[in-house]
Structure 1
Amino acid sequence: MAPTYLKRKAVQEDGQGVKTNEGVASIVKGVIDDIRINGDASVRTYSERFDKWAPESFSLSDEDIKGILKQVPEQIINDIKEVQKNVRTFAEAQKDSLKDFELEIQPGVFLGQKNNPIENVGAYIPGGRYPLLASAHMTILTAKVAGVKHVIGCTPPIQGQLPTSTIAAMHLAGADEIFILGGVQAVAAMAVGTETIRKVDFIAGPGNAFVAEGKRQLFGEVGIDLFAGPTEVLIVADEHADPYTVATDLLSQAEHGPDTPAILITNSREVAEKSIELVDKLLVNLPTAGLAGVSWRDYGEAIVVDDLDEAFALADEYAAEHVQILTQNPRQALQKMKNFGAIFLGEGTCVSYGDKCIGTNHVLPTRKAARYTGGLWVGKFLRTVTYQEVRNNEASAKLGRLCGRAARAETFEGHARSGDLRAHKFLNDQHDWINGKLAAGDARPRVEASQNGA
């Protein structure tokens, strides 16, 4: 039977799950172009326009940071350190799983792989609405564990004030420079470089539609972690799930903003109906109901299917950022599902743990991007490079003959002659032939040698 939708999303989107806003791309392009030409002056103009923020310097000095740290309650500092310990532990385990190696694929032919960290990274820490401390851990700390030499952190002011707790998190995560600068102006400044903000090679971190569009337009000029849109949650629940837990966890993500998809897929009509009823009741006393309620109204869905196999299959079609499994056997989802940014198994594990404290990275693919990529991790800050060395003349001659034949099959004569040179030089040491025939451009002996396998 077809799934039954007890609640459907109200907003029409394009094929990628995006509510189109044609004006965003135009505005972002204008900001980037302006900053590219006018540097700091334009950065100041846009910061004042968008954030009402134009201090003498956007950069925080060491003395500034010391003073700010004194303003942050001790409990918050201790909690930041504990969370960062979790993030660091997991990130270090990820890095340890990436091994440099070298192997001798045939006598005298050595191939190797190295993982080199990116030199300069820009980390964008959103915060125009809330102080998002956790994004500092996920971007700055992860980059530092990867071995990135220099990390710039940018975060916006909040209602004209310094976000002291976020700054503390950025500093403790290891940021080398901290700028109180938000929006596309921050992303553009880091990507193109200005008089006071160094150009980076890579930008990581989530943000609003303008930040996401800025990263999209700048991709190629710099690397980016991934294209991330509004956060998403999808819950797969069976007939044993607690509807109160379902409703609470749907709203925990819906409060991120007014455009957060919150989806329930269950094999129990009763669980679905009670969950919908409880969402409406919980919104009455939820301080962030102004955002969560709009998300639930416009993007919330509740779907009833026949069985859990159908639920897992439908969830895979959504390829959601966060998938939460509230079933009697939650680990079954690990075998049944493939498309998700992160999966949270069982009632004891909620998406909010991943967002705030458990240690895995919360910068994750949205808008069905989980079909082709995972989230931010240590490996995103590493460039996996290869090297080759042929130490044996006989091996080089053998490869030269193979190269000659392979290149001529593609009509790449220049490539073939590079192989020919080594085949003849190292196999027969025919220096007279090399210095005479090769210099004269006579390709006939080389063609015959390659064709005859000599």
Structure 2
Amino acid sequence: MAPRHLKSPSTTTNGTSSTATDVPTIVKSVIDDIRANGDSAVRQYSEKFDRWSPSSFKLSAADIEAAIAQVPEQTIKDIKEAQANVREFALAQKDSLKDFEVELRPGVRLGQKNVPINRVGAYIPGGRYPLLASAHMTILTAKAAGVKHVVGCTPPIAGKIPNATIAAMHLAGADEIFLLGGVQAIAAMAVGTETIPKVDFIAGPGNAFVAEAKRQLFGEIGIDLFAGPTEILIVADGHADPFTIATDLLSQAEHGPDSPAVLITTSEKGGRQTIQYVDRLLEKLETAAIAGVSWKAFGEVIVVEDLDEAYALADKYAFEHVQILTQKPREALKKMSNYGALFLGERTCVSYGDKVIGTNHVLPTRKAARYTGGLWVGKFLRTVTYQEVTSDEASGKLGQLCGRAARAELFEGHARSGDLRAHKYLNDQYEWVDHGKETEIEP
């Protein structure tokens, strides 16, 4: 039986159209202006887009203390608990990456080291929602990797300091915090200005303008990944609770009006009940104005013959978040390969991953899960290698091999580097060809 749609998306553009704002052109003009004019351009765009122009975009220690003092004690405790989970998992990831040295052949030593990036910029969004958790995922993870200096940027919200976000950024370990958002924040960190330091790498989610800024600046700096709208896909069998499915689908649909929410189920009855529950939940959900648009435009409910077909179809979607609501959820670990993060069983929900459980919520979207994972401690590390040859015989033999291998590729200069070692350490005599004339290597 071919998959059947009980609900199809009303659009397949994923939030883009030919009449959409020319985001790339706008972003390029902002980047070029900031590159040329530094702080004055940053201030101009902050005034234009955020109506924010303080004497200094950088928060002082007193500013940070004042912001934290405004945050409820329970919120501070919750931030610390969530950050403890993220830190513990990030450090476990780091421990899985080992420096090593191996003697490949007698006298030939090869090694690997994991070296932290020197300066990282972390962008913490704040447009529609104050995303405290993004501070945990970017700043704290960078610090767990050993990054020495982390610059955090977050925008004001309605012309005010987002106190809880500032608290999260400070507690995560940010070395500098700037109240600055949008393309102007990304560009300022990437190119550097009179007051905002240039970084080597930028991490963190954001809207279409922020994502485009990261795309255009990639290469000049490193970035975590190209992020699009949040996605959720649920694989369910006939035992799954339709109310739970509906609740979890809407938990991600509320991220934005272009966030796909998809159910693949072996139960037609369960699929129809899920649609009914979504409609009922939207009647009272505080974020229904966003989630409802997303569900109507991009929501899908698909019925398949069995779970093998469900897993295969889910792999084709290659979504950011994949939730498994089946009797044997761990089967998905063997049956699936294309996902940003997997959430196994009814006791586990995507919202845990977004906010508190400890894994990173910056994940691949738009089928990027086919070729990359999400943000993790390793993104803030550079795996570098080193080589040392300590034996005359080993160097000479490598020189002989290098000479032959390089000439097979017509790289005469490479070959001569090898020849020289073969001559020095094995006393080889080679005839070098130079402009058609043959001359013997002189000792």
Interval of TM-score (by shorter of Structure 1 and Structure 2): over 0.9
SS of residue in 1 equivalent to 2:310: helix
Question: How far apart in 1 are the matches of 2:435 and 2:159?
Answer: 74
Match of 1:202 in 2: 201
Aligned to 2:2: 2
Aligned to 2:346: 347
Residues 65-214 of structure 1 mapped to structure 2, 5 A cutoff: 65-214=64-213
Instruction: For residues 52-79 of structure 1, give each alpha carbon's deviation from its aligned partner in whole angstroms, at most 9, with x where no partner exists.
Output: 1111111000111111111111111111
Compared CA separation, residues 442 and 172, structure 1 to 2 (3 A): farther
**Aligned residues with identical type, % of pairs:** 74
Cα shift at 1:261 = 0.3
**Secondary structure of residue in 1 paired with 2:5:** strand
Deviations 1:137-183 (A, max 9, x none): 00000000000010000001111110000000000000000001111
- Contact persistence 1:312–1:337 (CA under 8 A): yes
Q: How big is the shift at 1:22?
A: 5.5
1:394 aligns with 2:393: yes
- 1:236-295 superposed Cα distances (whole Å, 9 cap, x missing partner): 010001000000000000111111000000010001000000000000110000100000
TM-score by length of 2: 0.97
Match of 1:379, SS state, is helix
Query: Residues 290-369 of structure 1 correspond to what in structure 2 (within 5 A)?
Result: 290-369=289-368
Q: Structure 1 residue 19 and structure 2 residue 16: aligned?
A: yes
Contact 1:18 1:367 in 2 (8 A): no
Q: Aligned partners of 2:206, 2:80: CA distance in 1, in Å?
A: 24
**Per-residue deviation, residues 304-338 of structure 1 (Å, max 9, x unmatched):** 11111110000000000000000010001111000
1:199-238 alignment runs, 5 A limit = 199-238=198-237
Structure 1 residue matching 2:329: 3-state secondary structure: coil
Give the match for residue 450 of structure 1: none
User: What is the distance in 2 between the residues matched to 1:222 and 1:2?
Assistant: 46
Does structure 2 retain, via aligned residues, the 8 Å contact 1:235–1:325?
yes
By how many angstroms is 1:444 displaced? 5.0
Change beyond 3 A, Cα 1:444–1:307:
farther
- In 1, are the aligned partners of 2:433 and 2:439 still within 8 Å (CA)? no
Say if 2:46 and 2:53, in contact at 8 Å, map to a contact too. yes
Give the distance between the partners of 1:42 and 1:129, measured in 2 at CA. 24
Match of 1:373 in 2: 372
CA spacing shift, 1:444–1:270, aligned 2, 3 Å: farther
Question: Residue type matched to 1:87 in 2?
Answer: V
* Residues in 1 aligned to 2:146 and 2:283: alpha-carbon distance in whole angstroms: 47
Query: Does the 8 A contact of 1:184 with 1:211 survive in 2?
Result: yes
Inter-partner Cα distance in structure 1 for 2:296 and 2:72: 37
Cα distance in 2 for partners of 1:438, 1:91 equals: 55
How far 1:428 moved relative to its partner?
A: 2.3
**Cα distance in 2 for residues equivalent to 1:248 and 1:37:** 48
Tell me what 1:452 maps to. none
TM-score, normalising length from structure 1?
Answer: 0.94
SS in 1 for 2:147: coil
Distance 1:441 1:142, change over 3 A: farther
Instruction: Identify the residue that residue 31 of structure 2 maps to in structure 1.
Output: 32
Q: Is the contact made by 2:422 and 2:428 (CA closer than 8 Å) also made in structure 1?
A: no
What do the CA deviations read for 1:203-245 (whole angstroms, capped 9, x no partner)?
0000000000000000000000000111000000100010000
- Report the counterpart of residue 51 of structure 2 in structure 1: 52
Q: State the Cα RMSD in Å.
A: 1.7
Change (3 A) 1:428 1:274: same
Any conservation in 2 of the 1:233–1:324 contact (CA below 8 Å)? yes
- Residue 230 of structure 2 aligns to a residue in which SS? coil
Shift of 1:19: 2.1
Tell me by how many angstroms 1:376 deviates.
Answer: 0.1
Residues matched between the structures, number:
439
> Which whole-Å CA distance do the structure 2 matches of 1:79 and 1:24 have between them?
37
SS at match of 2:22: helix
SS of corresponding position for 1:114 = strand
Q: Distance in 2 between matches of 1:373 and 1:43?
A: 33
In 2: Cα distance, 1:315 partner to 1:190 partner: 37
Q: Which runs of 5+ in 2 are unaligned?
A: none
Greater mean deviation of Cα atoms: 259-268 or 62-71: 62-71
Kept in 1, the 8 Å contact 2:149–2:175? The answer is yes
Q: Quick one: which amino acid aligns to residue 19 of structure 1?
A: T
Question: Following superposition of structure 1 onto structure 2, how do residues 246-325 of structure 1 map, counting pairs within 5 Å?
Answer: 246-325=245-324
Letter in 2 for 1:26: T
Q: Which residue type is aligned with residue 22 of structure 2?
A: G
